[in-house]
């Protein structure tokens, strides 16, 4: 028979109030780490990084998450190299959350793998279910973005502030809204425009040396 942890992580219906000692221990340990992490100071970047490596399931070598950061368990979260999350990030990781390299979150981004039955009687019985979230490489989620259970966001996407992402978003697109919809593809013209902007900056820096 599957444990409650196995059922939860696999996306099967499970009962968090079952008294399962393993799940309860992991939940409380995550609460302890959350409290300690959010009480660290701005002068302790290495301590923060080491805590995240202990807390989360998998990380790149260089990651940074601004306090306050909140998650359910931590072990279901995998983040890639150079991941950055701004203030008040929430990750409800009853199912796996996988985030690629060089991905950035604005403030108050929420990744919510947890869900509940639509039927009211079953819902109030305490049974829960979840679906994994996958976010690709070099993605930018604007401030206040909410990503719902089961969503995949492809590489290089930009998701506009305040969007509620209820369905998969294909790679190399700009999307926004509630519900979030693709607005347009990211093009070579975008790349050229921003390369020119960046070059102007670096030329100004070089001229001031």
Instruction: Tell me the pLDDT of the chain (209 aa) as tens digits.
Output: 789 999 999 999 999 877 778 999 999 999 999 999 999 999 999 999 999 999 999 999 999 999 999 999 999 999 999 999 999 999 999 999 999 999 999 999 999 999 999 999 999 999 999 999 999 999 999 999 999 999 999 999 999 999 999 999 999 999 999 999 999 999 999 999 999 999 999 999 999 88
d(CA 38, CA 46): 14
Please indicate whether residue 25 is annotated as part of the active site: no
Q: Provide the domain limits for residue 84.
A: 4-207
Residue 122 phi, psi (nearest 5): -65, -40
Q: What pLDDT, on the 0 to 100 scale, is given for residue 1?
A: 79
Choice among 108, 116, 134, 181 that is catalytic? 116
Please give the model's pTM, rounded to 2 decimal places.
0.94
Half-sphere exposure for 49 (CA within 13 Å, toward CB): 13
Residue 148 phi, psi (nearest 5): -85, 165
Residue 38 phi, psi (nearest 5): -75, -10
Q: What pLDDT, on the 0 to 100 scale, is given for residue 34?
A: 97
Q: What pLDDT, on the 0 to 100 scale, is given for residue 21?
A: 86
Q: Which residues contact 17 (CB under 8 A, 6 or more apart)?
A: 126
Q: Which residues contact 51 (CB under 8 A, 6 or more apart)?
A: 33, 36, 37, 40
Any alpha helices (H) in 153-209, and if so which ranges? 188-207
Tell me the two tokens of residue 194: 């921003």
Where residue 107 sits, what CATH number does that domain have? 2.160.10.10
Q: What pLDDT, on the 0 to 100 scale, is given for residue 75?
A: 97
* Domains contained in the chain, number: 1
Q: What pLDDT, on the 0 to 100 scale, is given for residue 2?
A: 87
């Amino acid at each position: 028979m599957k444990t409650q942890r196995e059922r939860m992580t696999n996306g099967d219906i499970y009962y968090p109030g079952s008294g399962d000692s393993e799940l309860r221990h992991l939940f409380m340990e995550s609460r302890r780490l959350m409290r300690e992490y959010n009480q660290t100071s701005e002068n302790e970047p290495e301590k923060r990084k080491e805590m995240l490596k202990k807390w989360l399931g998998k990380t790149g070598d260089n990651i940074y998450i601004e306090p306050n950061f909140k998650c359910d368990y931590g072990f279901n979260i995998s983040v890639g190299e150079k991941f950055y999350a701004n203030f008040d990030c929430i990750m409800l990781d009853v199912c796996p959350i996988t985030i690629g390299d060089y991905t950035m979150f604005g403030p108050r981004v929420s990744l919510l793998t947890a869900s509940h039955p639509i039927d009211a009687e079953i819902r109030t019985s305490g049974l829960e279910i979840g679906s994994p979230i996958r976010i690709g490489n070099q993605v930018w989620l604007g401030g206040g973005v909410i990503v719902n259970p089961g969503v995949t966001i492809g590489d290089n996407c930009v998701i506009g502030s305040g969007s509620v992402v209820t369905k998969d978003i294909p790679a190399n697109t700009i999307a926004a809204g509630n519900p979030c919809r693709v607005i347009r593809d990211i093009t070579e013209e975008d790349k050229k425009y921003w390369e020119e902007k960046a070059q102007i900056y670096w030329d100004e820096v070089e001229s001031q040396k």
